[in-house]
Chain A
Amino acid sequence: MLPNFAALEVGQHLYWQIGNIRLHGQVFLTSWILLGALLVFISLGTKKMENDPKGLQNLLEFLWDYIRDLARTQIGEKVYRDWMPFIGTLFLFVFVSNWGGALIPWRLIKLPSGELGAPTADINTTIALALLVSLSYFYAGLSNKGWRYFEYYVHPTPIMLPFKILEDFTKPLSLSFRLFGNILADELVVGVLVFLVPLILPIPVMFLGLFTSAIQALIFATLAAYYIGEAVEEHH
């Protein structure tokens, strides 16, 4: 059978060595291809903007509206505008990475080591995203409320202090591992099924994977927006 097509490689990477630092090359390769496609898609859609939207512009406006609603409901009317690009970028990045990883038959491209796949199936990517979210909500809270941001830690009672501090660690941890685990698990399940039964049977699981991927993008963006909203919320 097709050993090269169906083989599974877990935890192997295409290493790029630049000076002293080592990178996971396959993550950057796929992310550049997917983000390039995303940017081309967006450039085409926004090239000729009309007041009476047609075709691609319609789709992009729908997307914009969807992200605005997400940001507005989670962050609130007052500051959602500042954070909408960030939330939208997270959503688009995760969504494009997940779906790109699931839809494009990367296995057909052979690498000397490791294999191409969803960039979000690499722990580095998800931790990077989660840490950006952490920095964002700290920045949002401090820039909006100054030192009063730390009232949040003793709100509603000072007993909450240790739990709130703990939350600052659990938030990025859960964000990164949820995304990483879901996408990796999806890739593994599809990989194992393709390895065992290459025909028909993996298809429903692939659809389930697409569904999970979309949901994970939504969850990541919603939670990021929620954390920022929590940080800028005024307590009275």
Chain B
Amino acid sequence: MLAFNFFGATEGGLFDINATLPLMAIQVVALTYILNSLFFKPVGNVVEKREKFVSDNIIEAKNKLSEVKKLEADLLSQLQSARTEAQRIVSEAENESDKLFKEALELANNEANASKEKARLEIESQTSAARDQLSKQADDLSELIVNRLILEK
């Protein structure tokens, strides 16, 4: 039955302090050492090793990422310079071809002009020759007509 026997008992009671106390203290200290070698150290080693592994990997990944970014920037600048270089070459070639075209055009124009001139001169000379011949033939004809008229009389 309910036996509330707090104080005053010659033996027992709730506050009966005896050698249980120091022995329990020794037991807890021993337990601390046992748990330290059985639990805290090994688990700590594993956990901290893993934490180190993870943080190392993060650092490594960050380094790699920055390296990649650097390389990317490098490549971009290279690409940029290549692009401007290409543009320069293209414009240079365009200029060159333009110049060549203009030169060729000029040459062709000159040639055409020259041949036109030559043709004109030839036409002119032929025209004059034909005209001379024509006038000579007209003269001959007129002489012939005149002679015939004279003979008929």
Within 8 A of A (CB), among B57-108: none
Given known pairs A49-B46, A128-B28, A184-B14, the reply for A24 and B20 (CB within 8 Å) is: yes
A66 to chain B, nearest CB (A): 11
In the assembled complex, which residues on chain B have CB atoms less than 8 Å from the CB atom of A46?
38-39, 42-43
- Picked from A60, A64, A89, the residue with its CB within 8 Å of the CB of B32 is A89
Say whether B47 faces chain A, with CB atoms less than 8 Å apart: yes
Interface string of B1-36 (1 = CB under 8 A from A): 111111001011111111111111101110110111
Contact in complex: B22, A85 (CB < 8 Å): no
Bound complex: CA of A123 vs CA of B53, how far in Å? 46
B54 to chain A, nearest CB (A): 11
Say whether A195 faces chain B, with CB atoms less than 8 Å apart: yes
Contact in complex: A125, B18 (CB < 8 Å): no
Say whether A166 faces chain B, with CB atoms less than 8 Å apart: no
Main secondary structure of the interface of B (DSSP, over half): helix
Within 8 A of B (CB), among A66-103: 67-68, 84-86, 88-90, 92-93
Interface string of A34-67 (1 = CB under 8 A from B): 0100010011001001110100010011001101
In the assembled complex, which residues on chain A have CB atoms less than 8 Å from the CB atom of B27?
28, 31, 35
Given known pairs A49-B43, A64-B44, the reply for A127 and B38 (CB within 8 Å) is: no
**Stretch from A7-15, A157-165, A198-206 contacting the other chain:** A7-15
Contact in complex: B20, A85 (CB < 8 Å): no
Bound complex: CA of A125 vs CA of B5, how far in Å? 19
B76 to chain A, nearest CB (A): 40
Say whether A109 faces chain B, with CB atoms less than 8 Å apart: no
Say whether B49 faces chain A, with CB atoms less than 8 Å apart: yes
Contact in complex: B32, A127 (CB < 8 Å): no
Contact in complex: A88, B19 (CB < 8 Å): no
Given known pairs A12-B12, A39-B34, the reply for A23 and B49 (CB within 8 Å) is: no
For A15, A65, A68, A85, which residue has the most chain B Cβ atoms within 10 angstroms? A85
Given contacts A24-B20, A129-B25, 6 further A-B contacts (CB under 8 A): A11-B4, A46-B38, A64-B40, A90-B28, A129-B24, A132-B25
